[in-house]
Structure 1
Amino acid sequence: MKTSIYTLALALVLASCSSEKPKDKKTELEQLKKQRTELNGKIEKLEAELGQNKAVADVKDVTATELTEIHFRSYVEVQGKVDAEDNVEIMPESPGTVTQIYVKVGQQVSKGQVLAQLDDKVLKQGVAQMQTQLDLATTVFNRQKNLWDQKIGTEVQYLTAKSQKEGLERQLAGLKSQAAMNKIKSPVSGTVDAMELKLGQSVAPGSPTGIRVVNASRLKVKALVSENYGGKVNQGDEVQVSLPDVPDNLQAHISFAAKVIDPVSRGFNVEVKLPSNKRYRPNMVAILKIVDYKNDQALVVPINAIQKSETSEYVFTAVNGKAKKVDIKTGKVSDGKAEILSGLKAGDKVITTGFQELNDGDSVKL
């Protein structure tokens, strides 16, 4: 019975094996080639998509400025202060005690106006006495002259009377001049900016009285320029004046430039006249930007866009969607911009942002 079972199983196995047909190798090869063609197509498609994405990723966004000819100025910048053309601290011409004060702070005064009076009693008495003597000498002279005109008396008598009269006139004039020195007068027209003089105060020549007169309608800026610019800064040069405290900016010219270098400061003084303005005050801070170089047809680029190599300076320009490295030569630098002497021309588009990681020939998008 066992033998029958094994025989039956063997027969079934042989029957199943005999039902499978052997594979056709030619058909199998064709199928594999077809699969390979499909895979190659998929590979090419994926490679193309990846290449496009890479090309898009390699295009860099930049900002460019098209060069045009402009007015370029280079400046010497110095700090100065506003001063009055007429800013005077009054001092007496003779010693004495103050007996009268005729003005107060803020009052307008004219040139030669008496501001205060010193004690001049003794001088007044001397003037009065000298005037009496002169009157007598004048009378004597007139009588002597009448006699001399009539050929009466001697010439010596006439000359003596004339000499005495003229001598007394000169003495009286001297006393009056001395008396006038006891009056404290304003040497300029302007406003009394300070008045610290007190009645009974003793003053002397060379000592400040505490009186200051300022003519605020005639102001100027004074500044000290380093001797390094002695050959570049001259009278008549253009200058931009900035007054931060007002604030205000104006164009002017240097009205005065000293020819002598100060041995201590190693600089020279310059002055710029200001127009009349109630907002301007003496001792205000002023910034002077003196033009020491100008070019009315200059090409300029921001100094931040200029890169340096071991041998040259260069910038990147945008040409037909590509970055182009251009060697340049620069001149003066002012206000964050550099003058271009060679390498660029009007119409060139200089890349000003996004140039840090650029290489020559990279694709760029403006």
Structure 2
Amino acid sequence: MKTRYIAFTVIGLIVAFLLYNKLWGAKAKESAAIAAKSGKGKGGKKTGPVSVNIMVVKDTAVNNNIDITGSIDANERVNLISETAGNITGIYFNEGSSVKKGQLLVKVYNLDLVASLKQTQYQVSLAKENEYRNRILLEKEAISKQEYDTSLTSLNSLQAQAELIKAQIAKTEIRAPFSGTIGLRNVSPGGYLSPSTSIATLVNIDPAKVTFSVPERYLPLIKPGSKVKFTIASSRDNFEATVYALEPAIDVTSRSITVRAKAPNPKNLLTAGAFAKINLTLDQIPKTIMVPTECVTPDLKSSKVWLLKKGIATPAYVTTDMRTDTKLQVVSGLKPGDSLVVSAIIQMRPKIHLKVNKVIK
């Protein structure tokens, strides 16, 4: 048994010596030195310079634009109805056609009113003669002033009655209140038309109105005369409108203000109710720094970018403001001529060595 224990002890000592020599011997130190020279550390990972793309910071002019949505509205739109009831004796328009202001569209039965007007006009003629005779007699003092006043009152009353009948006849003729395009009709000849019956819709879409809302912070930058560019789904054309009116109060729910602009529509490409994608130019910043969004990382107190200085990575804390689809405006923390790191941001650490792969203009 003693011999066995001695053998196990000797074997253990030999194994311990071999491990020590492997880990801490001269050969291990030599291997570590070779690995250091070849740029490799623990696990064989490279610790040499990180290859990056850089951008030389410079001042640029930027348009302050915002993308919002809106709707296309008609310049004028009315639902045509009749002020009087009666049977339709004539329809004088074609569906979907253009009509002029004052054009007769629909006529309701009015022969009874026409006959009543003729009767009243005869009475007016007789009353005029009677008033004329009494005026001559009054000048000759053949009648009293009271008798003349009675004849004059009778004439004025009949004339007013005639005007009333003319107004009633006018209500039996539905005319276009403005020039535009008339839609689909809801009535037929011979049908009974009541004041609650919709005849058709009349729309004037040239110019078209564009209605949209902008955040409260942009209110000082929006004013009548501002230009608006927009597109619609049904056309590939780009359209332009001019702001002409703003709602006087801010919406308390959305904290935005409603704006309305007019756009020329000579080809009728814009349709009332259409959805508009609006690009609104608020102002132009003549001199500012814009950097790619991906190279700005959030920090505890501000935002951070990485600069290349003397071949190493150096953090710089910046203040940002306006954002576009791909870039951020930097208002402090950078100056023209700085070498901004725009790639491999996730690998950036203070004082690591960098190798410039490409300079982006």
Aligned to 1:73: 64
Following superposition, the deviation at residue 103 of structure 1 comes to: 0.9
Shift of 1:351: 2.4
Letter of the aligned partner of 1:273 in structure 2?
K
**How do 1:34-113 residues align onto structure 2 when only pairs under 5 Å count?**
50=38, 58-64=49-55, 66-75=57-66, 77-113=67-103
State the match for 1:326 in structure 2.
316
| Conservation of the 8 A alpha-carbon contact between 2:56 and 2:336 | no
Cα 1:335–1:47 shift into 2, 3 Å: closer
2:57/2:289 contact within 8 Å kept:
no
Aligned residue type for 1:180: A
Q: Deviations over 1:117-172 (max 9, x none)?
A: 01112211211211111111112122222333444433223222221111111110
Which of 207, 210, 233 aligns to 1:221? It is 210
Secondary structure in structure 1 of the residue aligned to 2:166: helix
Q: Identical aligned pairs, as a percentage?
A: 23
Structure 1 contact 245–285 (Cα < 8 Å) conserved: no
Find the aligned partners of 2:253 and 2:160 in 1 and give their Cα distance.
48
Distance 1:351 1:116, change over 3 A: same
Moved more, 130-139 or 286-295: 286-295
Aligned residue type for 2:229: Q
Among 108, 116, 139, the residue aligned to 1:126 = 116
What is residue 161 of structure 2 aligned with on the other side?
Answer: 171
Which residues of structure 2 form unaligned runs of 5+?
1-30
Q: Measured at CA, do residues 335 and 60 of structure 1 come closer, stay the same or move farther in structure 2, by a change above 3 Å? A: same
CA distance in 2, matches of 1:168, 1:265: 60
Note if contact 1:66-1:349 (Cα within 8 Å) is conserved in structure 2: yes
Deviation of 1:266 after TM superposition, in Å, equals 7.6
- Give the drift of 1:330: 1.1
Q: Which has the larger radius of gyration?
A: 1
Compared CA separation, residues 330 and 316, structure 1 to 2 (3 A):
same
Q: Aligned equivalents of 1:105 and 1:272: distance in 2?
A: 29
Does the residue aligned with 2:143 lie in a helix, a strand or coil? coil
Cα distance, 1:161–1:263 mapped onto 2, change above 3 Å: farther
Aligned partner of 1:243: which letter? I
1:259 aligns with 2:248: yes
After TM superposition, give the deviation of residue 66 of structure 1 in Å.
Answer: 3.5
| TM score, norm. by length of structure 2 | 0.77
Decide which of 178, 181, 195 is 1:205's aligned counterpart: 195
Residues 266 and 306 (structure 1 numbering): CA distance in 2 closer, same or farther, change over 3 Å? closer
The CA deviation at 1:310 is 2.5
Q: Are residues 1:360 and 2:329 paired? A: no
1:48, 1:271 → 2: CA distance? Answer: 70
**How far is the alpha carbon of 1:89 from its aligned partner?**
1.7
Instruction: State the Cα distance separating 1:270 from its structure 2 match.
Output: 2.2
Give me the whole-angstrom Cα distance separating, in 2, the residues matched to 1:67 and 1:119. Answer: 78
Give the counterpart letter for 1:62 in structure 2: N
Superposed CA deviations along residues 248-277 of structure 1, whole A, max 9, x for unmatched, are 334544322212456888865321111224
Distance 1:161 1:194, change over 3 A: same
Q: How many Å separate the matches in 2 of 1:206 and 1:289?
A: 42
- Which residue among 246, 253, 267 is the counterpart of 2:235? 246
Cα offset for 1:177?
Answer: 0.4
SS of the residue aligned with 1:217? coil
Please report how far the alpha carbon of residue 341 of structure 1 lies from its aligned counterpart in structure 2 after TM superposition.
Answer: 1.4
Shift of the alpha carbon at 1:90? 1.0
Q: Pairwise CA RMSD of aligned residues?
A: 3.3
Letter in 1 for 2:209: K
Aligned pairs for 1:272-351 within 5 A: 272-278=261-267, 279-291=269-281, 295-319=285-309, 321-351=311-341
1:31 aligned partner: none
